[in-house]
Amino acid sequence: MSRDDVLMPAEDSSRNDSTYIDAGDVCLETRGLSLGYHSRGGRRQSALDDISLCIERKRVTAFIGPSGCGKSSLLRTFNRMTDLDEQSRLTGEVRLEGEDIHARGVDVPMLRRRVGMVFQTPNPFPMSVYENVAFGLRLVGERDKRHLDDKVEACLRAAALWDEVKDRLFDSALGLSGGQQQRLVIARTLAVEPEVLLLDEPASALDPISTLKIEELIRSLRSRLTLVIVTHNMQQAARVSDATAFLHDGRLVEYAPTDQLFTNPRRRQTEDYITGRFG
Amino acid sequence: MRHAHTSRTPSKTSLLRPPEHLLARLSRYWRDGGPWGWLNAMAVSVSLLLMMGLISLLLVGSLGHFWPSRLVEIALLEPMTQTSETSDADSAAIGNGQHLLGELMREEVRHVQTASGTSRPRQWWLLQTSSEQSAAASWRWLPKDMLNALTFPEQALALELRDGRVLYGMAQALSDPTTGELVTTDVSGSGKPLAEDATPLFVRLDDIESQRRNLAALRSHGEQLSKQLTALTQQYAARHDSGTVTAEFEEEISAARQALITREQQLMSLRDALTAGQLQLAGRGGHDGQIALEEIKRAWQPNALGFGGRLSLTLNRFADFISDTPNDGGEGAWPAIFGTVLMVVLMSVIVMPFGVMAALYLHEVAHQGRLTQLTRIALRNLAGVPSIVYGVFGLGFFVYGVGAGIDRLFYADQLPTPTFGTGGILWSSLTLSLLTLPVVIVATEEGLARVPRRLREGALALGATRFETLWRVVVPAASPALITGLILAVARAAGEVAPLMLVGVVKLAPELPVDDSFPWLHLDRKFMHLGHQVYDLAFQSSDAFSNRPLVYATALVLVVVILCLNLSAIRLRHLLAQRYKGATE
Ligand SMILES: Nc1ncnc2c1ncn2[C@@H]1O[C@H](COP(=O)(O)OP(=O)(O)O)[C@@H](O)[C@H]1O
Ligand SMILES: [Mg+2]
């Protein structure tokens, strides 16, 4: 199999010539993935149309594209958050380490522990900072106080939040600033030791300083797990990611290593978008 | 240049209004909504005034009853000196030149038809004098022109007896604690006659109060001793059979027996001492004669009391009212307070889980289709069903249906006397739970709807199941709303009387629903309720006039009890809202 096939295994591999993912390095893979929403009138609205791509392990992959092009939808199929929308219909395949995540008998909570997700708006639980981080551990029945303490500290350190919250571990998490809350959510997600971390515009609700901190955090996590980040900020994608996919209108237009996509886009549409001529 | 230019240009529309006529100004005032502000303020102040009026009516009406008003001694004219106009039947009955002691309750002008056919206004006074046989106060109407003299004797005594009677009079003599003879002077202290200084009486009464407490302690100790003795005797019998009775053991038994005998003797002498004390009272138109000191619950000299004394006496009597059990004629609200609170607590314990479960199902589990919507509408309408209908349902379903079934299954040996097949506190609480269920469901659903989607997604994305998401994140975040539902339910349930009269409230319950006999909480018992007691005192008693202050007092207690229940729920909601602040949007 050519490397080319691996990156975009669908038929139209002609779109793409960045051939660098080893088959053994593929973490997430979609094949012919389509997603439609039933709107009120009974009409089907397509959000994703025949998407096939591979995501490399322990790299940062960014999804960019204009608003409403289906970036979030694509991300949400990776941990089956799309199941929550009763009107959504999904066809095609998503494979995590080769396993079809939509197969019968898949343990969805287990899948979501392996594929963590951070949302656009910080959503800490109305509990203490400590309990937020311990939440996922308590779910799997962790009771040992010492172990919990250690784990909470390690995760908060990994999320570069420890120094700011170590004196207020038992205060409500809702008292933290927006940037701190988002890093707390990342720490909370790290606590269940996911293999993949999905970030849906994690910094779009934050101020520039907080955004910078989140970006640093993403770079520091790169060695530990596979990251997929959705962003509408192209500079951000260029700064943090190794590979970038450009989506438009539910279709995957171009997918290439980041420097290549930004300096030498193959597609006209991509070029227009990254030079700001549309979108 | 430019400056000069701009300043010279007149602006086209000035910010200042042109001068207006009165009419235009009024119409602008109207358009600006000025009158609305006043109207709203008026509505608020009228509601506040009505509320304050209600509370002060209850306060004045009830505390007036416990306030020690001054005792007046009235000397009546000799019947012979009456003019022809006053010689009607009433005054003949009273007007025998006697002295009357009592509380002046009210003055009234009545028109009396005279022999010559002209109507003449005549002023009457209403005097409350010593109670006679029963606890009911006795009243006398006196025409003012028959009064000869009016005094407020310092030493006039008011006695509240344990059976509820109130007596007025002058202390005449007190039995000597050692000899038992009646003496008219204070021998141990000042040596003044008792009629002038009643201090020894109060000393004796205080003494009796502490002795009664002693007696109770001794009695329980005596019971303990007798139990010990029984145990020893049984042991003795066993040892006697096996022939291993030692001398020490026999000694031990006789010592225990001796201890019990001495204790019994102590008890007897104490009891005798208690019953021996007597007070000779000069009744002044009321009770004349001896009263056992033990019978007296409280004594005071209203005319000698200052304001502070009166106030503390009032509060004491009110506290007694709250903590007493009503016995034949006596007043007391304790069992009714207890019944009301217990019923509300049981109701909350039943309705909260059911209501929250139902709301969770409707909002989180059920498919949001037409059927769910219909169920929701039906539930909301259930909140509008009159409470007496719930009472009828409770009677038909719980009492005659479920209760009778339980009796047949488990209490068949006691039939035809019903155990659960009659009204009781369990059925009352269940009926009220049904009544308040819609309120709890609606409030909880609204709370659940306000928990943002991102919180649920956050929990799900961490690998929580739907159930874990609900119980660990959604329900806690919605808990202030749950408590709001509880507050509404309590407020509605605590004041309901009508349905309860069908399913378990009685005028006088012999026992509280909680006591020290197994299983402590007796769900089958009938109970008393403040709301029902108000109704009963006001409409069902033979002596509505003298009961009126008690109606106010009971109503006041009911209001305060509901207020306390609500305040504690509100406090709880406040704490939860503090904790989950910002969790809902
Ligand atoms: N729950 C939903 N129900 C119906 N339509 C949806 C839903 N979520 C997303 N869509 C539609 O799918 C398309 C893609 O949305 P989304 O993935 O959120 O785009 P992006 O994140 O790129 O802005 C949009 O047209 C949106 O209207
Ligand atoms: Mg999006």
* Distance from the Cα of residue B493 to its chain's centroid: 16
Q: What domains can you pick out in chain A, each with its CATH number?
A: 2-274 (3.40.50.300)
Residue B397: its pLDDT value, please? 93
Nearest one of B486, B352, B493, B380 to B442, comparing CA atoms: B380
Confidence band of B445 (pLDDT split at 50, 70, 90): very high
- B346 and B452 fall within a common domain: yes
Cis-peptide, bond into residue B519, ω within 30° of zero: yes
**DSSP structural state of residue B278:** E
**Residue A121 with chain B: CB contacts under 8 Å:** 454
Mean pLDDT computed over B510-517: 78
- Residue bearing tokens 């509601």: B47
Q: Do A119 and B582 touch (CB under 8 A)?
A: no
- B509 and B382 fall within a common domain: yes
Are A188 and A136 within 8 A, CB to CB? yes
Nearest one of B264, B271, B253, B256 to B212, comparing CA atoms: B271
Ligand 1 atom with the shortest distance to the CA of A200: 21
A135 touches chain B (CB under 8 A): yes
Nearest to B454 among A123, A139, A189 (CB): A123
Q: Do A126 and B579 touch (CB under 8 A)?
A: yes
Ligand 1 binding pocket includes A102 (Cβ within 6 Å): no
Residue B180: its pLDDT value, please? 67
Residue B232: its pLDDT value, please? 84
Ligand 1 binding pocket includes A37 (Cβ within 6 Å): yes
Residue B10: its pLDDT value, please? 60
- B120 and B77 fall within a common domain: yes
The residue with greater pLDDT, B187 or B530, is B530
The mean of the pLDDT values for chain B is 82
Is the confidence at residue B44, as pLDDT, over 90? yes
Domain annotation covers residue B208: yes
Are A215 and A236 within 8 A, CB to CB? yes
Is the confidence at residue B88, as pLDDT, over 60? no
Nearest one of A97, A102, A92 to A47, comparing CA atoms: A92
A125 touches chain B (CB under 8 A): yes
Residue A11: its pLDDT value, please? 43
ipTM: 0.89
- B306 and B434 fall within a common domain: no
Which ligand minimizes its atom distance to the CA of A245?
1
Which ligand minimizes its atom distance to the CA of A76?
1
Are B183 and B210 within 8 A, CB to CB? no
Ligand 1 atom with the shortest distance to the CA of A75: 17
B450 touches chain A (CB under 8 A): no
Distance from CA of A106 to the nearest CA of B (A): 13
Mean pLDDT computed over B417-431: 86
Which ligand minimizes its atom distance to the CA of A48?
1
Domain annotation covers residue B6: no
Residue B61: its pLDDT value, please? 87
For the purposes of burial, counting CB atoms within 10 Å of the CB of A175, is it exposed (0-12), middle (13-18) or buried (19 or more)?
middle
Domain that holds residue B385: 334-579
Is the confidence at residue B93, as pLDDT, over 60? no
Distance from CA of B485 to the nearest CA of A (A): 21
Nearest to A139 among B454, B463, B582 (CB): B463
Residue A86 C-alpha to ligand 1 middle, in angstroms? 14
Which ligand minimizes its atom distance to the CA of A66?
1
Pairing relationship of beta strands A226-230 and B99-113 according to DSSP bridges: unpaired
Cross-strand bridge partners of residue A94:
A30
Domain annotation covers residue B201: yes
Ligand 1 binding pocket includes A175 (Cβ within 6 Å): no
Average pLDDT per 10 consecutive residues for chain A, totaling 279 residues: 42 44 82 85 81 90 91 92 85 90 90 93 91 92 90 91 91 89 93 92 86 89 91 88 91 90 88 78
Domain annotation covers residue B141: yes
- B525 and B430 fall within a common domain: yes
Mean pLDDT computed over B542-563: 84
Nearest residue in chain B measured CA to CA from A80: B461
- B431 and B392 fall within a common domain: yes
Could you say which of B282, B313, B344 is where a domain stops?
Answer: B313
Where is average pLDDT lowest: A177-191, B7-21, B195-209?
B7-21
Domain annotation covers residue B529: yes
B472 touches chain A (CB under 8 A): yes
B366 touches chain A (CB under 8 A): no
Which ligand minimizes its atom distance to the CA of A65?
1
Residue nearest ligand 1's atom 8 by CA: A73
Output the 3-class SS for A172-204.
Answer: EHHHCCHHHHHHHHHHHHHCCCCCEEEEECCCC
- B459 and B567 fall within a common domain: yes
Tell me which of A40, A106, A127 to substitute to probe the interface with B (most B C-beta atoms closer than 10 Å).
A127
Nearest one of B445, B421, B403, B431 to B347, comparing CA atoms: B431
Are A205 and A123 within 8 A, CB to CB? no
Q: Do B461 and A192 touch (CB under 8 A)?
A: no
- B425 and B557 fall within a common domain: yes
Domain count, chain B: 3
Is the confidence at residue B350, as pLDDT, over 60? yes
Q: What is the DSSP string of A11-75?
A: S-GGG-------GGGEEEEEEEEEEEEE-TTS-EEEEEEEEEEEEETTSEEEEE-STTSSHHHHH
**Residue B462 with chain A: CB contacts under 8 Å:** 112-113, 116, 135-136, 139, 188-189, 192
Residue B108: its pLDDT value, please? 78
Q: Do B462 and A189 touch (CB under 8 A)?
A: yes
Nearest to A174 among B462, B476, B581 (CB): B581
Instruction: Give the C-alpha separation, A167 to A161, whole Å.
Output: 11
Mean pLDDT computed over B524-539: 88
Instruction: Give the C-alpha separation, B429 to B503, whole Å.
Output: 9
Residue A261 C-alpha to ligand 1 middle, in angstroms? 25
Q: What's the Cα-to-Cα distance from A72 to each of B104, B173, B496, rounded to whole Å?
A: 85, 98, 54
Helix, strand, coil fractions of chain B, as percent rounded to 5? 60, 15, 25
- B306 and B344 fall within a common domain: no
Quick: pLDDT tens for B258-298: 888 888 888 888 777 777 777 888 776 666 778 888 888 88
φ/ψ of residue B193, rounded to 5 = -65, 150
Quick: pLDDT tens for B557-567: 999 998 898 88
3-state secondary structure of B175: strand
Distance from CA of A127 to the nearest CA of B (A): 7
**Residue A182 with chain B: CB contacts under 8 Å:** none
A78 touches chain B (CB under 8 A): no
Ligand 1 binding pocket includes A49 (Cβ within 6 Å): no
Quick: pLDDT tens for B214-259: 888 888 888 888 888 888 888 888 887 877 777 788 888 888 888 8
Q: Do B461 and A81 touch (CB under 8 A)?
A: yes
Instruction: Give the C-alpha separation, B462 to A187, whole Å.
Output: 11
- B180 and B214 fall within a common domain: yes
Pairing relationship of beta strands A196-200 and A115-118 according to DSSP bridges: parallel
Residue nearest ligand 1's atom 6 by CA: A37
Nearest residue in chain A measured CA to CA from B465: A109
Nearest residue in chain A measured CA to CA from B473: A125
- Residue bearing tokens 């660098």: A20
Domain annotation covers residue B48: no
**DSSP structural state of residue B580:** T
**Residue A117 with chain B: CB contacts under 8 Å:** 461
Is the confidence at residue B82, as pLDDT, over 60? no
Instruction: Give the C-alpha separation, A276 to A237, whole Å.
Output: 15
Distance from CA of B352 to the nearest CA of A (A): 22
Residue A203 C-alpha to ligand 2 middle, in angstroms? 12
Instruction: Give the C-alpha separation, B218 to B260, whole Å.
Output: 11
Confidence band of B392 (pLDDT split at 50, 70, 90): very high
Q: Do B462 and A174 touch (CB under 8 A)?
A: no
Is the confidence at residue B372, as pLDDT, over 50? yes
Ligand 1 binding pocket includes A73 (Cβ within 6 Å): yes
CATH of residue B446: 1.10.3720.10
**Residues, CB-to-ion distance under 5 Å, ligand 2:** A 72
Residue B133: its pLDDT value, please? 64
Residue A70 C-alpha to ligand 1 middle, in angstroms? 6
**DSSP structural state of residue A253:** E
**Residue A123 with chain B: CB contacts under 8 Å:** 452, 454-455, 457-458
Is the confidence at residue B89, as pLDDT, over 70? no
Encoded tokens for B447: 């709370």
Residue nearest ligand 1's atom 16 by CA: A70
* Distance from the Cα of residue B479 to its chain's centroid: 31
- B374 and B501 fall within a common domain: yes
Quick: pLDDT tens for A60-109: 999 999 988 899 999 999 999 998 887 888 899 999 988 899 988 889 99
Residue nearest ligand 1's atom 1 by CA: A85
Distance from CA of A113 to the nearest CA of B (A): 5
Residue nearest ligand 1's atom 4 by CA: A37
Residue B81: its pLDDT value, please? 43
- B187 and B267 fall within a common domain: yes
Domain annotation covers residue B281: yes
Nearest residue in chain B measured CA to CA from A199: B461
Domain annotation covers residue B20: no
Residue B91: its pLDDT value, please? 45
Quick: pLDDT tens for B293-346: 888 888 888 888 888 999 999 999 888 888 888 765 567 888 999 999 999 999
